[in-house]
Chain A
């Protein structure tokens, strides 16, 4: 059965801290892994990862995929209160649709 597990489910940090969010998966015929940030309405697309070991970076956010160990991490450095959100990991397989993880709820305190 395809599944995505995220950890931790919730996290509280202070501004300036660095956080690492984890996503592990089991999916048939893996095609890609996606990270989203969800604040109030629609999740905002962050990264799509298809190859192992290649870090994707956007500002203070970065992510990397390990297809051998079946996991991905999302790093946020120098966190700000605006980073507070639910971070969703989703995995897509060829010929299949998405499997979303439960999300990690990040709270960044001033």
Chain B
């Protein structure tokens, strides 16, 4: 089946530093990748949608200069949290879709990355 991985699975950093999270589709080409943030009551907020080779589309209220997204290839998207602050501490989840190539537009979710900013 379609597998999506994220790296690292958890990261602790100091306030003011930048953190990069990778999302990889392991056995399919992901034309579209999505980045979510999970809030304490388990809801998932879509941060941005990225298509390979083009700029990400950010949701309203998400700072594109703070959350840099790069979708450089059909199997890799990265989210960089720049100048992280404690309020950025959260669980970040990516999902990937082949936009129909596998027969559906199903999103396959990664395991998430837990970010803690001290």
Query: Which A residues fall within an 8 A CB radius of B?
Result: 34, 36, 38, 41-45, 48, 86, 88, 90, 96-100, 102-103, 105
Contacts and interface: CB of A to CB of B under 8 A. Distances in A.
Interface residues on B, range: 20 to 34
B114 interface: yes
Contact of B109 (A44, A48, A96, A98): A98
Interface pairs A-B: 7 shortest CB-CB: A100-B109, A42-B46, A97-B111, A97-B112, A45-B42, A45-B43, A42-B44
Interface stretch (B22-30, B64-72, B76-84, B100-108): B100-108
Interface string B1-36: 100001001100000000000000000000000001
Given A42-B36, A88-B109, A97-B112, A34 B46 contact: no
Contact of B44 (A45, A48, A86): A45
Contacts, number: 47
Contact of B42 (A34, A88, A102, A105): A34
A43 B112 contact: no
Interface of B: 1, 6, 9-10, 36, 41-46, 59, 91, 93, 104, 106-109, 111-114
A102 B46 contact: no
Main SS of the interface on chain A?
strand
20 contacts: A38-B107, A42-B36, A42-B44, A42-B45, A43-B44, A44-B44, A45-B42, A45-B43, A45-B44, A86-B107, A97-B6, A97-B91, A97-B111, A97-B114, A98-B93, A99-B111, A102-B106, A102-B108, A103-B107, A105-B104
B44 A102 contact: no
